Structure 1
Amino acid sequence: MDIKTFNGDFFIPSNAKTAFVLVIATTDVSLIPGITVAGATPELTHFTPAADAEFLIKGKCFVINTVPVTPTGIPTPAIISRASLELVKIPKFVVNAGSRVKPNLPFIDLGGEPGKDIRRGSMERETADRLIKNGITLGEELSNAFDFLIIGESIPAGTTTAMAVLVGLGYDALDKVSSASPENPKDLKRRVVLEAIKDLPSELLLKLAKLSDPMLLGVAGIALGFKGKIMLAGGTQMTAAAAIIKEFDKEKLKNIVIGTTKWIINDPSSDILSLAKDIGIPILAAWLDFSNSRFEGLKVYERGYVKEGVGAGGSSIYAISKGYTATQILQKVEEIYESITK
């Protein structure tokens, strides 16, 4: 089986008009040394979402002169998303929820701002409110053209802000979020989150403004406004997006699934299954296998590097649902990887 289902059932609608939406943002949490490897240095993490968007749409990056890589040179998971979406040929949209660096291509702007360090508060209440309301408007408009949305994300250090949101909303989420590194910096994330949730306001929007990153609010808004079915394409971050959606409209979760990769499901340092179960949302996972890849930079995915991001799991699941195999996706990934590493 190239797709596995957890925590309930979800059927991808056949013959549905489908679009892929990538929501990008940054926060100053990614500048904390050691908290993320989603960029060669902490400072370069602010370029990663824009570069991911450019690579997804254009196949090359403009804001930096290379494909986004980890400090050890492993390429962005956008390579998987681009490969899968090239196979199925559906429309792709970039949505800026608050990225410090803007991509050099057309994008939809939600009127957000880059998030600050959550230990001192991520954003103003008005910004959080605007992100959700503008996201709802966008979701409503997308409903006029599409029946099914795949929503991916790119935001460095997003698992830390996701954990803060989940804990702030009352979930048992400490130490349960994943990492792009095999060495999940749990102690550091825990310290940041425990400091962030001190003196937490009781009002929902104020709470989200303090703890959330702009991406989560943008994704939640789009999902709340969209009238069809939705796949939240990502790892443990998308459980936080689902939790926010649930706070505003519990019934909405009936039409939503998280689409991820086997690398997130099998990650011993996180627990997406218990988080999703507590929230009440099913999970689909693409059972990709890069162990026999021709390239070491792809084989390392099987050793716990990267795991997910830029909608890699969700886009793969959709491609598989359209008749492509995990092997065919790997072949397409290798083709793209070879072209960018020559």
Structure 2
Amino acid sequence: MTTPPPSPARRVTTHDVARRAGVSQATVSLVLGGNPRARVSAVTRERVVLAAGELGYRPNMLARGLVQRKSYALGVMVPDLSNPFFLDVVTGVQRVAAEAGYAVLPGDVRETNAARHLDALRARQVDGLILDGFGALALPESALADLKVVLVDEPSERWPGVASDALGAGRLAAEHLVGLGHTRLAFAGPATDVHGFRMRERGFFQVLQAQGLGLSSARLRRVAPDVAGGLQAMKALLALGPTERPTAVFCANDLVAAGALKACLTAGVSVPGEMSIVGCDDVELARVLTPELTTIRVPARELGARAARLLLKQLEDESWVPRPAKPLPVKLVARGTTAGPGNRE
């Protein structure tokens, strides 16, 4: 006789699943708890999973957490949730975390002091923390001593991490512009110790040096990594004399590039006719600008997903030691903001 489903008003429990599957409640807990060491046959495991699906069972994470002394929550600290790149990183974390039954608590350290945000996450007893270079630099190691931590785009000898090929991103941008025939180039980005930004800049300069191309201090614009920073940088570059003014600019991220493009359009400077612009990240904004932005695609969602997998692996196995992984590859996406320098060089 088939066990009738519980009334819609009542939450489905493991006891309901056990009755439907014809097994004990303890067996259901072993199967649905994801215990890899549980001695349950494949046939029984399939029966339990099928019964849970038929009844619409949803685990009570609060109850499970009390038993296992876990919160089933992960903290994520990024510098700017208004930047689509970091939203994509968080989205990647959430996708993997949700599949494993974890909630994600994201925080913007631009709006909230990093230490204060960390205190808030500790108060919620998060099981682990994912943070990028800005967060890592803003917090002393002692503040993270008893936490499981994974870093994004920030190398560390203490904590595991995931990274994109930031050096390669800068090289791709320079190779693209030099290949188009530009010899007077500029760079716009922040003065920072954050690894990702430093490597993008370093890769760009490596190619210029290899090609025997100099970059004067006037064409190196230190600005905030946002739209306002891009506006500021391009206004300064456009004010340079005809022999110094660049014909192409590599911007540290797409927000800076968007500001640079806006400054050109406001000043009546043709893009890419008189100025070529390359961004970095390939956020959605890059595809809705006019002209569409040439940029370097960085797999932000996969960065977040890999970071979450690393963190969950640490939480599952205390003895696990991560192996060094290659940086995620980046790719040039040539669109409408780059072309040859024409008659200006």
Per the normalisation by structure 1, the TM-score is: 0.29
Bigger RCO of structures 1 and 2 (CA < 8 A, at least 6 apart): 1
